[in-house]
């Protein structure tokens, strides 16, 4: 506003901004809380395979970055920003309620179907409001009087996005892994419920600010106008009358009888930038695998750091932390230093370098995955089986299997974990129990079955107790253990209780055994937290403690011998725990965070500074769509199961990224930069709004 002297008067800072900032904090807390634990939820709770889980995760991300186009069209053409945000936030919240409710067994909802419906509604709501919130905040300011205040608002907005995301990622992963509910070792219900509550709170906060908002009416959508103009021009070019042909310098000029020449000129300028976007989805195909492929890698690694266990999904927090550190370092030191030798001195050079760094990050990932593969124990599969023979007593048992002699140690296990089998393979055995105080020699046959891991418990009476062992790592890498009780003292039931930090955590109740024929009996397998446990047998504490580590699968032998006053126990390792430490992932996270600074942050600046004033919405929507397409590529590749090895899959992404960035490098040689000095201040402000919105 101007006073009577023509001077600009000071305008009060809009109070409505604080409602918008608070709303954004709650919404970002909600979204990041769900996305951070999503891959583990889909793979462990919904029970999908790793490839399908990867496909679902990236399909969700693809939709989140596709629906902003719909949200922008709704806001600009039909509803306006306030109604678009409010209505889509309600859809967003309903999706979260459905997702949270699906994890409650008592409700009886089909967990897979209801979860996927909830995720779709969340993607619709989160994506739809993405292009609207920051721009709605910008609508509250009076320009040019409050241009500086507007820049401050964007700084606040950006900080809110990052703070909300980081706090949520830490909190929800801790709740998921530390809290127990419905008899399980983790609790997705509360981990999803808290973001649901925050999303409901964000709607309430946003609605309370309604009397203070400056609400602009929809003025028509540039994106739709551009699409209509392009299709009209193509149609005219294809169907023009040969006899009345009028030469056109550019194919878009065919639309000049219906559309303004200024609009056509701006579309031409925008298309020059859009062509450069074609190879860019590959960057996002790599970048967004932090939440899927890299989380999966962490799930197979040793996440114990001192007394603290880092959740596999918590490694994703590395990226925003590194990003906040790297941005000022690059702006203050790296860019000026390299600019002196004409390196990294233009946006396209920075983006190209960032793309190749992303390829290097995935090359490092492939090397780490190769080393990680060597730590995976064999599991029974088609054409192969596993066989274990367990000695449940505290004595040495000489044995022969198919003529091969060996001594089975006290509480020891003999195993053959790679047996080539066509349905079934039979082994002959003998076992001498003389050192166990029993003159008997046991002999007979044992079978290995294709695709199974069978364990046999040898006993002096020629009876073999058999059970199918579980040698696969649990979905969330928690250690798992079963109890094998050998009771040659009496036939009463045995109660084995596990204590941790003085608190009872699980009871194994073993029914009475038939002493003469079958003194051994095994329990079902159960998951535990990693750590040290005390063992109580029928209320009597054993002197030795047991330690279960991340990823391990164990059998606890409890020997209740007739010639001993006290029971004894020995922990057998059936599947070795995760041995490669999760901190080996840090180098690839560092390289990818550097790539993000060079590629993503610079790409936002490039897209907005090179776009004509009327085309900034189009360029913003197109930039977001590159992320959607990148996630779609990962979903398709995962769905087709092109590779049996994660190492080869990582190499495949490296090759695709190198090809994409090589094409991009050639394309940049023919690009002429627009004169950024001609961009007006108000356009720069709008660019900042859209850039911050994309960083959400």
Tokens (6 digits) for 298: 């962490």
How far apart (Å, rounded) are the C-alpha atoms in residues 68 and 607?
Answer: 17
Torsion of CA 650, 654, 660, 665, to 10 degrees: 160
Angle 91-80-224 from CA coordinates, rounded to 5°: 100
CA-based end-to-end distance of the chain: 33
| Confidence (pLDDT) at 154 | 66
How far apart (Å, rounded) are the C-alpha atoms in residues 164 and 22?
Answer: 10
Question: Cβ distance 190 to 54 under 8 Å?
Answer: no
List pLDDT tens digits, range 448-481: 999 999 999 988 877 788 899 888 888 778 899 9
Tokens (6 digits) for 467: 């059970």
List pLDDT tens digits, range 483-528: 999 887 766 788 999 999 888 888 998 876 554 456 788 888 998 9
Could you give the C-alpha distances from 302 to 294, 456, 574, 633, in angstroms and in order?
14, 30, 17, 30
Angle 465-470-473 from CA coordinates, rounded to 5°: 160
Domains of the chain: 16-220 (1.20.1250.20), 223-259 (no CATH), 269-375+579-696 (1.20.1250.20), 379-469 (2.60.40), 471-577 (2.60.40)
How far apart (Å, rounded) are the C-alpha atoms in residues 644 and 254?
Answer: 51
Question: Cβ distance 591 to 609 under 8 Å?
Answer: no
List pLDDT tens digits, range 400-418: 999 899 999 999 999 998 8
| Confidence (pLDDT) at 565 | 72
pLDDT tops 80 at residue 204: yes
- Please give the residue that has the higher pLDDT: either 365 or 620: 365
Neighbours of 243 (CB within 10 A): 5
List pLDDT tens digits, range 55-100: 999 999 999 999 988 888 888 778 888 999 999 999 999 999 999 9
| Confidence (pLDDT) at 251 | 84
Residues 6+ apart with CB under 8 A from 228: none
**DSSP at 468:** E
| Confidence (pLDDT) at 396 | 93
Residues 6+ apart with CB under 8 A from 315: 294, 295, 298, 582, 585, 589
Average pLDDT over residues 246-270: 82
Percent of the chain with pLDDT over 70: 90
| Confidence (pLDDT) at 266 | 86
DSSP secondary structure string, 263-276?
A: HHHHHHHHHHHHHH
How far apart (Å, rounded) are the C-alpha atoms in residues 98 and 34?
Answer: 13
How far apart (Å, rounded) are the C-alpha atoms in residues 88 and 168?
Answer: 21
């Amino acid at each position: 506003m101007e006073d009577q002297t023509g001077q600009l008067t000071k305008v009060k800072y809009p109070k409505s901004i604080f409602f918008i900032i608070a709303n954004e904090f709650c919404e970002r807390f909600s979204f990041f809380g769900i996305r951070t634990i999503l891959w583990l939820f889909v793979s462990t709770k919904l029970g999908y395979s790793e490839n399908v889980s990867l496909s679902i995760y990236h399909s969700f991300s693809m939709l989140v970055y596709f629906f902003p186009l719909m949200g922008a069209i709704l806001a600009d053409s039909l509803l306006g920003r306030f109604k678009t945000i409010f209505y889509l936030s309600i859809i967003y919240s309903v999706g979260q309620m459905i997702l949270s409710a699906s994890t409650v067994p008592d409700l009886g909802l089909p967990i897979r179907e209801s979860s996927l419906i909830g995720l779709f509604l969340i993607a619709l709501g989160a994506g739809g409001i993405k292009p609207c919130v920051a721009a709605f905040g910008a609508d509250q300011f009076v320009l040019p009087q409050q241009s500086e205040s507007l820049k401050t608002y964007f700084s606040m907005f950006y900080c809110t996005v990052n703070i909300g995301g980081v706090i949520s990622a830490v909190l929800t992963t801790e709740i998921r892994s530390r809290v127990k509910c419905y008899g399980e070792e983790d609790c997705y219900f509360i981990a999803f419920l808290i973001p649901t509550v925050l999303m409901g709170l964000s709607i309430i906060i946003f609605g309370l600010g309604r009397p203070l908002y400056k609400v602009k009416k929809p003025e028509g959508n540039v994106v739709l106008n551009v699409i209509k103009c392009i299709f009209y021009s193509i149609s005219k070019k294809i169907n023009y009358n040969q006899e009345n042909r009028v030469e056109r310098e550019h194919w878009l000029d065919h639309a000049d009888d219906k559309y303004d020449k200024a609009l056509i000129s701006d579309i031409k300028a925008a298309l020059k930038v859009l062509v450069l976007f074609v190879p860019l989805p590959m960057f996002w195909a790599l970048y967004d695998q932090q939440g899927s492929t890299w989380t999966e890698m962490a799930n197979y690694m040793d996440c114990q750091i001192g007394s603290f266990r880092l959740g596999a999904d918590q490694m994703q927090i590395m990226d925003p932390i590194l990003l906040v550190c790297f941005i000022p370092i690059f702006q203050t030191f790296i860019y000026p230093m390299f600019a002196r030798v004409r390196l990294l001195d233009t946006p396209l050079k920075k983006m190209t370098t960032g793309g190749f760094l992303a390829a290097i990050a995935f090359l490092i990932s492939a090397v780490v995955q190769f080393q990680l593969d060597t730590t995976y124990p064999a599991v029974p599969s088609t054409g192969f089986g596993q066989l274990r023979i367990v000695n449940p007593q505290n004595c040495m048992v000489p044995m022969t299997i198919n003529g091969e002699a060996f001594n089975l140690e006290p509480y020891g296990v003999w195993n053959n974990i790679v047996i080539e089998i066509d349905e079934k393979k039979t082994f002959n055995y003998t076992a001498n129990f003389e050192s166990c105080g029993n003159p008997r020699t046991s002999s007979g046959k044992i079978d290995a079955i294709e695709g199974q891991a069978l364990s046999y418990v040898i006993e002096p009476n020629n009876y073999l107790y058999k059970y199918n062992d579980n040698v696969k790592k649990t979905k969330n890498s928690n250690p798992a253990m079963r109890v094998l009780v050998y009771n040659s003292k009496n036939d009463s039931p045995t109660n084995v209780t596990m204590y941790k930090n003085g608190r009872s955590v699980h009871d194994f109740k073993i029914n009475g055994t038939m002493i003469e024929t079958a003194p051994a009996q095994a329990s079902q397998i159960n998951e535990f937290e990693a750590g040290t446990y005390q063992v109580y047998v029928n209320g009597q504490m054993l002197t030795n403690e047991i330690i279960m580590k991340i990823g391990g699968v164990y059998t606890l032998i409890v020997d209740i011998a007739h010639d001993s006053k006290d029971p004894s126990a020995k922990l057998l390792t059936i599947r070795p725990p995760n041995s490669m430490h999760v901190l080996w992932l840090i180098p690839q996270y560092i390289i990818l965070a550097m790539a993000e600074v060079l590629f993503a942050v610079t790409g936002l600046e490039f897209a907005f500074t090179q776009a004509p004033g009327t085309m900034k919405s189009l360029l913003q929507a197109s930039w977001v769509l590159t992320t959607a397409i990148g996630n779609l590529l990962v979903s398709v590749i995962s769905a087709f199961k092109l590779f049996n090895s994660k190492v080869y899959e990582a190499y495949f992404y490296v090759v695709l990224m190198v090809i994409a960035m090589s094409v991009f490098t050639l394309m940049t040689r023919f690009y002429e930069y627009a004169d950024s000095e001609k961009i007006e201040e108000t356009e720069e402000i709008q660019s900042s709004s859209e850039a911050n919105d994309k960083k959400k």
